[in-house]
Amino acid sequence: MATITKRKTGWSVQVRRQGFAPRSKTFATKSQASVWARDQESQMDRGEQICRKKLSSALTLGNLIDRYLCEVTPRKLSHASEAQRLSKMRLAPMCDLSIAMLSPTQITCYMDKRLKTMKPATVKRELGLIHHIIETATREWDLPIVSNPVKRVRQPALNNRRERRLEVGELELLLGALSTNRNPYIRPIVLLAIETALRRQEVLGLTWQAIDLGKRTAHIPVTKTGKPRNIPLTDAALSIIHELKRDETLLFPITVAVQRTRLRHTGCNRKHIACRDRVPVLLRAVTCRCAEHESETTKNPRGCIKDQGSDQKLRAL
């Protein structure tokens, strides 16, 4: 049904019909508004305009994930990890449901099933992704989604915080296992993570141009927070960097996938059977966020860095 109203700027016409998106426009005369309204209604009768109700029944959550992967994910810094996460989520049964049939019940079933094998923080990130995908479809793609079902789903409680630190003797055990790795970059990557408190992606993204040996700093242009920063380099960190071969743009010309694969094989040969069970635990403690904690806790209140296992000051920052 068309509604024509006199405004200060002209004649405003609005066409509304159940199942279709409302359309409106302003004209200089009432006759022009009437002609446009009849034309819009005729298009709806002939099926030339998309029925939003039918569209919502045909669209599935999987369709939205596919479009999100192509249009939104590539613009993010963490596009590689997010693409991998979404590809796995795409296999869930709820992705075959139409948007009209998707309800908090299906989201809750997915969450409860994932919580049996994954940690709450991982599941919460997945729910956040689904929420953002539906919001993007509604606001940016103008798709006929009445409400976001994720908003009505309880969020899992986070209880997987870790305070893992290297204990006495574990650093030596870790170094012994790392020395058996055939990839020459794995050992310096782990040691530099401990010395600098950098995240894995930040360590692998270090370039020779970003290292200032005179100021003893490393410039990190791309960070998780989006703000570049400079970090101080200890004597141990500088020693690690000096030992590297300068024949590439990057300090460590390997990918995240290669680094993960090589770490899984560290300490798993027969020469280190005694430490084979403990090495993977130590690697997770060092190469994840706990490496930052390990490094940051070596600083005293005055900002002086202490050597691992020693109270001797190496350098005042």
Q: What local confidence, expressed as pLDDT, does residue 202 receive?
A: 86
Residue 198 lies in a domain: yes
pLDDT, mean of residues 276-299: 48
Same domain, yes or no, for 42 and 88? no
Residue 166 scores a pLDDT above 80? no
Residue 258 scores a pLDDT above 60? yes
Please, which pLDDT band fits residue 141 given cuts at 50, 70 and 90?
confident
Residue 287 lies in a domain: yes
Q: What local confidence, expressed as pLDDT, does residue 87 receive?
A: 93
pLDDT, mean of residues 88-107: 89
Same domain, yes or no, for 174 and 311? yes
Higher pLDDT, 311 or 61: 61
For the chain, percent helix, then strand, then coil, each to nearest 5?
A: 50, 10, 40
Listing DSSP states for 213-238 in one string gives TTTTEEEE-S-TTS--EEEE--HHHH
Give the pLDDT confidence of 34-85 residue by residue, as tens digits: 998 888 888 767 655 554 555 556 788 999 999 999 999 999 878 888 999 9
Residues 316 and 303: their CA atoms lie apart, in Å, by 7
Q: pTM of the predicted model, to two decimals?
A: 0.58
Residue 207 scores a pLDDT above 80? yes
Please, which pLDDT band fits residue 312 given cuts at 50, 70 and 90?
very low
**Residue 143, domain extent:** 57-152
Q: What local confidence, expressed as pLDDT, does residue 224 receive?
A: 74
Same domain, yes or no, for 145 and 259? no
Same domain, yes or no, for 23 and 92? no
Query: Which CATH number belongs to the domain containing residue 235 in this structure?
Result: 1.10.443
Give the pLDDT confidence of 210-238 residue by residue, as tens digits: 999 889 999 998 887 778 889 899 999 99
Give the pLDDT confidence of 9-34 residue by residue, as tens digits: 898 988 877 656 677 889 889 899 89
Upper half-sphere CA count for residue 175 (Cβ side, 13 Å) = 8
Report H helices in 180-304. Answer: 186-196, 200-204, 235-242, 256-264, 279-287, 290-296
Same domain, yes or no, for 298 and 223? yes
Instruction: List, in order, residues 6 or more apart from 284 with CB less than 8 Å away.
Output: 164, 290
Residue 162 lies in a domain: no
Partner residues linked to 13 by β-bridges: 4, 25
Residue 157 lies in a domain: no
Three-class secondary structure of residue 24 per DSSP: strand
Residue 163 lies in a domain: no
Same domain, yes or no, for 148 and 231? no
Q: What local confidence, expressed as pLDDT, does residue 116 receive?
A: 92
Give the pLDDT confidence of 171-196 residue by residue, as tens digits: 787 778 777 777 788 888 888 888 88
Q: What local confidence, expressed as pLDDT, does residue 245 receive?
A: 84
Last residue within a domain, chosen from 126, 152, 178: 152
Same domain, yes or no, for 148 and 178? no
Q: What local confidence, expressed as pLDDT, does residue 205 receive?
A: 86
Same domain, yes or no, for 183 and 269? yes
Same domain, yes or no, for 84 and 197? no
Residue 161 lies in a domain: no
Same domain, yes or no, for 75 and 109? yes
Same domain, yes or no, for 64 and 28? no
Same domain, yes or no, for 181 and 65? no
Q: What local confidence, expressed as pLDDT, does residue 261 receive?
A: 64
Summary mean pLDDT of the chain: 77
Listing DSSP states for 123-174 in one string gives HHHHHHHHHHHHHHHHHTS-------GGGGSPPPPP---------TTHHHHH
Residues 177 and 165: their CA atoms lie apart, in Å, by 18
Query: Could you give the percent of the chain with pLDDT greater than 90?
Result: 25
Residue 21 lies in a domain: yes
How many separate domains does the chain show? 3
